[in-house]
Chains A and B, each alone.
Chain A
Amino acid sequence: MEEVDVNPTVTNIPAIRHGKHMGFAWGPEDILVYETQFKASGPSLSGPGGSFIHKVRKDEDIHSPILRKLFNESHHIFVGLQTIKEDVPSKSKKPQFVSISRNYRSVIRACMEELQQVAVSTKDTEMATQYGNQVSILLAIELIWNLCEVLFIDAAPAGSLLLHLLDWVRLHNADADEKAKDVLQSDSPAEHHHYWDVVVSYVLQGRLEEARQMLAKQATRQPASRNMYKLMDGLLSKMPFYNPGGTQTLTEFDVKWRNWHEEVDRYLKDNSFSSNYHLELICKILVGDEDALLEQKELLSTWYHFLITRLLYCHPTVKPIELHYYAQSCLTMFLDSRSVQEPLDSILLAAFEFDIYLVIKDCSIVLNNWWFVAHLTDLLDHCKLLHSHNLNFGSNMREFLLIEYASGLFTHHSLWQCAVDYFDHCPELGRACLELQIERVPLDTERKALKVLRICEDRQMSEQVRSICKIMAMRALRNNRLGSALSWSIRAKDAAFATLISERFLQDYCTKGTFSDLDLIDNLGPAMLLSDRLTFLGKYREFHKLYGEKRFKEAAKLLLSLMTAKIAPRSFWMTLLTDALPLLEQKEVIFSADQTYELMYCLEELTSSLDTAAPGADSPMQEQDVEQTKVELLRLSLARNLAMAIVKEGTVDT
């Protein structure tokens, strides 16, 4: 057995009395827990001891109404991603993947903003903390996703890599902007106590244009040091930035940047700014002085900000493969011995090391739902970044994570519909999972059943279609809605069940003497051919209709054919023959001689089979008598009819 990566967390179930033993059962997403009467010594009693069953759930997020929007919206993006054509060379698909990645992130952001609003407006402090926690989780998710987008999906080369990383840091450090807003809204921004914080923050984030504008405000207040400010302004404006779209090569940029760097270093060395603490600090930052940077921990706030700032002012042409070296050293430098490395830090570090699998693995361990890892892994897989990483369980990692996520959705009362598309895009095990899950969706209404059926029919899951229709048909049958039941079995093309329902119709007819649900039986159409019994039911009803319309000849022909073509079940022959009686007794001859012979043959066949089957078995004497009289009557009528028919036919012939 493999070792566990982290020790599992302990969850106390407060409802279980202290010292009692617990039993449990696995569910797809929850665990059912109950008290048992287990005793350490003596005869142990199995079975539950308390009267409650508790549901323990790992993933609460799925039940948050706001996060549901995340699930629904990302479902849409996911489906869009799957339809991107496989045959297009992956190079030209990169912009598409980047834009899909951005769509995912904007959904996360939208969700985060809504959660933040609710967290502020709610009066319940407990809820507020819960929302607050969710916000910080989403924040971390977005941060990781964005970094993965820059490093893996966009995969920017040296030069533009740093520009992307700068954007990443700026986006996730909103503090500077908030402070800047405060400062700029005050009466005299240059005197605001956060003024220098803002300027330094701008420089740390490489937002030099904004830093210069801020500095200009201070310069006008200190005419004495005007030259010094002018010098700094010049340095800031001259700092070269790589322009990926331009004609400049990376080497040319590097040379230019080195010249600038030396110039800044010169000014620092000849103490040009020594009279002004802040300007000297900025100058130190510009040359990438590590100690000066580390002094600004407050403003940097995170090690990865420190990393990017350090790269900006020391190694602006950093290559992707060199990142991990700087990342590791910055992390150690930034975190002093007291502070602990948090999971987020190691995930980001893994990303900088380009260890995609470690990123996904750590995220799976830390986060309490599969949404993030499933969607990110899927996107990375589409970018062809995951190479046949087979797990020793399930199929591959993408599929494993998608199925976990989708199974979670499936347990939800309403989100199960989204899950179907996820299963669809898991080629190996998706269908099997869907087959297992779809049958277990509770069907409260026909509307819901129809939707589930559509899902199954579109995927040719005939087994499931049959089972769902059968459930619905059985329910209709239980509620004595034969028509409804029949329409369900027709939909499933379930011949056996259609036969069963037809039997019920015929039974009803035999006991009541009238048909129920005529609107349906009269309009069976081609559906009649589904089962023999159903065909018989339809035809038999047709006979009654013809008879009712006094179209005796046609009725008689149909009746006879029901028996000779063996459509009618043998048990029903007596009823059919009895139905023939009034036709035989009509004044005019309806059954021809040949037809009468056939009728006689049918009667004999029936009586002989009855005789051999059980002569005087269980049926009471009275019933046998009735049967006997019926047969006698029939024989008499048949003989009379035969006589009339022969006479009539003879007359016509001559």
Chain B
Amino acid sequence: MKPTTSKGDGGAADTSPDIQMRTGCVSMESAKYVSLKISKTRWRPVSHSSLQQPDIFATGSWDNEDNKVSVWSIGDPGSLGLEDGFEGDPQLICEHKHDGDVLDLQFLDQERIVTVSSTGAVTIFRHHQNSQTVSVSQQWPRAHRYPCDDAPGTGVACSSPEIVTVGEDGRIIVFRADHEGVVRVIENADSSTLHAVTYLRTTEVLTVNSFGQLKLWDLRQQNNSPSQVLSLSGDRVPLYCVDRHPNQQHIVATGGQDGMLCVWDVRQGSMPFSLMEAHSAEMWEVHFHPTNPDHLFTCSEDGSLLHWETASPSERPSFLQGGGSSSMTSRSAMAPAGGNQSIMSAWLCGDPSKSRLETTHMLPSQTLSVNSLDVLGQCLVCGTDGEAIFVNRQVPV
């Protein structure tokens, strides 16, 4: 059985791979050239109670002789009082040398940043906000390794104080901040490379691998096998990124080598719920908007950054349906018959004629890869192999 939409499949023609972009390009503030290829960008979390917009982000670099973890400020949005909210370039606050490429980076909390390196090391950096400096606060060198060589780590997920990392060695390692040793190792969790990891629930993590598989791991279970395996049928397209729907934890989005966006329902079936043509090359990251999950963002090796917006059928007047909606095909057989439409996520709306999905390019024509993006509130930041950082403070969500 094959998923309904896939590249090279006979049905590809009517799903029109080139999504008709409705608007040319959403204004992105001009590029900030930083003389380092950026592998990761992440906003510093803001407290949930306040409606604050983020103002600090961290970046990691790769493929440079000296790689760095840097902390940037986009200025305090409140203090400026400019009506257009346009405040110029992000400013570098502080940076720290990083051994090897930064292959993933996450904020553990307001002050601490966790990275995994191509040397296999997992490092916690502390950003001292009083002195505006960064220092290494904890490190597990060679956490990922082969018997006689270093293995690059590839992904990290945090659920403070717990940290989970995956690597090319196919191991899943659980750490605890301020806890010296390793809490748990799942040896041989995967025979191919694990490319990304995310928390599904506090005790469950999800990994994606080079063989087009999603594996669910229950960290309470002591056996070293996944509790569930989902996989792409047909060609085993390697998956490189994964993100979980912020409210409905059973909905998961992934992206991989063919640039397709896959949405999965981990409760049902072992195959993707829908597949959408998105990018013409590797998709490096996918992110649901944390507070407005009808919006999703993806970036790719092809140099593009896409903003996806889906709307529940009821929200739109009927005359708007039809033209302009992008190709989205779903396994309608999987759609629960009847059911309460309003609680169902728009991402899992089975009927393509009812679902509306709009995609917008967020970057002007770009040739080099967009490696990473992060979105929080109305702010989006992304970093590229063209050694540029782009910030957008007015994402329409």
Residues B154 and A447 in contact, CB atoms below 8 Å apart: yes
In the complex, chain B residues whose CB is within 8 Å of the CB of A418: 368, 386
In the complex, chain B residues whose CB is within 8 Å of the CB of A481: 146, 168-170, 191-192
Q: Mark B365-392, 1 if CB is under 8 A from A, else 0.
A: 1111100000000000000011110000
Q: How far in angstroms is the closest Cβ of chain B from A458?
A: 8
Q: Which residue of B lies closest to A521 (CB)?
A: B191
Q: Which residue of A lies closest to B37 (CB)?
A: A414
Q: Which residue of A lies closest to B39 (CB)?
A: A447
A525's contact among B33, B154, B168, B233, by CB below 8 Å, is which?
Answer: B233
In the complex, chain B residues whose CB is within 8 Å of the CB of A421: 367
Asked if B149 is at the interface (CB within 8 A of a chain A CB), the reply is: yes
Residues A451 and B301 in contact, CB atoms below 8 Å apart: yes
With A446-B168, A454-B282 known to touch, is A525 a contact of B236 (CB < 8 Å)? yes
Asked if A607 is at the interface (CB within 8 A of a chain B CB), the reply is: no
Asked if A484 is at the interface (CB within 8 A of a chain B CB), the reply is: yes
In the complex, chain A residues whose CB is within 8 Å of the CB of B39: 447
Interface size class of A (residues with CB under 8 A): 35 or more
A window 453-509: CB within 8 A of B: 454, 458, 478-484, 486-487, 490-491
Asked if B35 is at the interface (CB within 8 A of a chain A CB), the reply is: yes
Asked if B263 is at the interface (CB within 8 A of a chain A CB), the reply is: no
Q: Which residue of A lies closest to B302 (CB)?
A: A454
Q: How far is the CA of A146 from the CA of B329 in the complex (A)?
A: 54
Q: How far is the CA of A27 from the CA of B388 in the complex (A)?
A: 30
Asked if A575 is at the interface (CB within 8 A of a chain B CB), the reply is: no
In the complex, chain A residues whose CB is within 8 Å of the CB of B234: 525-526
Asked if B308 is at the interface (CB within 8 A of a chain A CB), the reply is: no
Asked if A445 is at the interface (CB within 8 A of a chain B CB), the reply is: yes
Q: Which residue of A lies closest to B151 (CB)?
A: A479
Residues B213 and A445 in contact, CB atoms below 8 Å apart: no
Residues A413 and B65 in contact, CB atoms below 8 Å apart: yes
Asked if A72 is at the interface (CB within 8 A of a chain B CB), the reply is: yes
Asked if B210 is at the interface (CB within 8 A of a chain A CB), the reply is: yes
Of A75-83, A538-546, A635-643, the one with at least 4 CB within 8 A of chain B:
A75-83
Residues B118 and A444 in contact, CB atoms below 8 Å apart: yes
Asked if A653 is at the interface (CB within 8 A of a chain B CB), the reply is: no
Residues B387 and A487 in contact, CB atoms below 8 Å apart: no
In the complex, chain B residues whose CB is within 8 Å of the CB of A332: none
In the complex, chain A residues whose CB is within 8 Å of the CB of B64: 413-414
Q: Mark B116-150, 1 if CB is under 8 A from A, else 0.
A: 00100000000000000000000000000011110
Residues A413 and B63 in contact, CB atoms below 8 Å apart: yes
Residues A479 and B147 in contact, CB atoms below 8 Å apart: yes
Asked if A93 is at the interface (CB within 8 A of a chain B CB), the reply is: no
Asked if A448 is at the interface (CB within 8 A of a chain B CB), the reply is: yes
Asked if A431 is at the interface (CB within 8 A of a chain B CB), the reply is: no
A69's contact among B33, B103, B168, B385, by CB below 8 Å, is which?
Answer: B33
In the complex, chain B residues whose CB is within 8 Å of the CB of A444: 100-101, 118, 152
Asked if A32 is at the interface (CB within 8 A of a chain B CB), the reply is: no
A417's contact among B33, B170, B190, B385, by CB below 8 Å, is which?
Answer: B385
Classify the interface of chain B: helix, strand, loop or mixed: loop
Asked if B350 is at the interface (CB within 8 A of a chain A CB), the reply is: no
Q: How far in angstroms is the closest Cβ of chain B from A216?
A: 38
Residues A519 and B211 in contact, CB atoms below 8 Å apart: yes
Q: How far in angstroms is the closest Cβ of chain A from B188?
A: 8
Asked if A84 is at the interface (CB within 8 A of a chain B CB), the reply is: no
Asked if A646 is at the interface (CB within 8 A of a chain B CB), the reply is: no
B35's contact among A68, A516, A525, by CB below 8 Å, is which?
Answer: A68
Q: How far is the CA of A258 from the CA of B365 in the complex (A)?
A: 52
A window 67-102: CB within 8 A of B: 68-69, 72-73, 75-76, 79-80
Asked if B229 is at the interface (CB within 8 A of a chain A CB), the reply is: yes
A487's contact among B100, B151, B192, B385, by CB below 8 Å, is which?
Answer: B192
Most chain A beta carbons < 10 A, residue from B211, B366, B386 = B211
In the complex, chain A residues whose CB is within 8 Å of the CB of B212: 523
With A72-B33, A484-B192, A519-B229 known to touch, is A79 a contact of B238 (CB < 8 Å)? no
In the complex, chain A residues whose CB is within 8 Å of the CB of B170: 481, 483-484
With A414-B64, A519-B213, A527-B236 known to touch, is A72 a contact of B367 (CB < 8 Å)? no
In the complex, chain A residues whose CB is within 8 Å of the CB of B154: 446-447
Residues A483 and B190 in contact, CB atoms below 8 Å apart: yes
Asked if B193 is at the interface (CB within 8 A of a chain A CB), the reply is: yes
B101's contact among A69, A80, A445, by CB below 8 Å, is which?
Answer: A445
Q: Which residue of A lies closest to B148 (CB)?
A: A479
Most chain B beta carbons < 10 A, residue from A75, A454, A519, A527 = A519
Q: How far is the CA of A444 from the CA of B235 in the complex (A)?
A: 26
Residues A523 and B367 in contact, CB atoms below 8 Å apart: no
Q: How far is the CA of A76 from the CA of B367 in the complex (A)?
A: 7
B191's contact among A69, A491, A519, A526, by CB below 8 Å, is which?
Answer: A519
Q: How far is the CA of A240 from the CA of B34 in the complex (A)?
A: 48
B window 30-45: CB within 8 A of A: 31, 33, 35-37, 39
Asked if B231 is at the interface (CB within 8 A of a chain A CB), the reply is: yes
In the complex, chain A residues whose CB is within 8 Å of the CB of B387: 68-69, 72, 414
What residues make up the interface of B, taking CB atoms closer than 8 Å to A?
31, 33, 35-37, 39, 62-65, 100-101, 103, 118, 146-149, 151-152, 154, 168-170, 190-193, 210-213, 215, 229, 231, 233-236, 238, 257, 281-282, 301, 365-369, 385-388
A-B contacts, 15 listed (Cβ < 8 Å): A68-B33, A69-B35, A72-B387, A413-B63, A421-B367, A446-B152, A448-B63, A450-B301, A454-B282, A479-B146, A480-B146, A481-B192, A487-B238, A519-B190, A523-B212
What residues make up the interface of A, taking CB atoms closer than 8 Å to B?
65-66, 68-69, 72-73, 75-76, 79-80, 413-414, 417-418, 421, 444-448, 450-451, 454, 458, 478-484, 486-487, 490-491, 516-517, 519-520, 523-527
Which 9 residue pairs across A and B have the least CB separation, nearest first? Answer: A483-B191, A517-B191, A479-B146, A69-B33, A65-B35, A445-B152, A68-B35, A520-B191, A445-B118
Q: A414-B36, A446-B210 are in contact. List 18 more A-B contacts (CB 8 A).
A: A72-B33, A72-B388, A76-B386, A413-B63, A445-B168, A446-B152, A446-B154, A446-B193, A480-B146, A483-B191, A484-B191, A484-B193, A487-B211, A487-B238, A519-B191, A523-B211, A525-B235, A527-B235
